[in-house]
């Protein structure tokens, strides 16, 4: 079963707008990670947030984590066409067993 579930499944926005996607998970975690996948390519790690952190920033990315609700959000500010991709959250509830959600497909139109 999938540990993380992203919401929404798909998101379409225009350049310059912000994109927000959410992730819910089921078990306790040490950290939660977000990855990006361009069409037909491998996943690329974006950002990691530890269980004792509530918010983390990296460039135009902002990640929040609410362990009481077992949820996380990824915000991409000032979206660009190059941000078009699928975004996945991942957790590793068991040692080494990274589990991914179904992803949010983001389309940014010029």
Chain contacts with another protein (rule: CB under 8 A): 2, 30-31, 33, 35, 40-45, 48, 88, 90, 92, 96-103, 105
Q: How far apart are CA 105 and CA 61, in angstroms?
A: 16
Query: Which residue is it, tokens 């819910």?
Result: 24
18 or 38: CB nearest another protein: 38
Query: How many other CB atoms sit within 10 Å of the CB of residue 78?
Result: 11
Pair 91, 6: CB distance under 8 Å: no
Minimum distance, C-beta of residue 16 to another protein, in the bound complex (Å): 27
39 or 110: CB nearest another protein: 39
78 or 102: CB nearest another protein: 102
């Amino acid at each position: 079963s999938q540990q993380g579930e992203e919401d929404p499944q798909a998101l379409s926005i225009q350049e310059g707008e912000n994109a927000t996607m959410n992730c819910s998970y089921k078990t306790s975690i040490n950290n939660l990670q977000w990855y990006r996948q361009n069409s037909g390519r491998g996943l690329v790690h974006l950002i990691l947030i530890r269980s004792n952190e509530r918010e983390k920033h990296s460039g135009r990315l902002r990640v929040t984590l609410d362990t009481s609700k077992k949820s996380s959000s990824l915000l991409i500010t000032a979206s660009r066409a190059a941000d078009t991709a699928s975004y996945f959250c991942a957790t590793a509830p068991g040692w080494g067993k990274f589990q991914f959600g179904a992803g949010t497909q983001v389309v940014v139109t010029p």
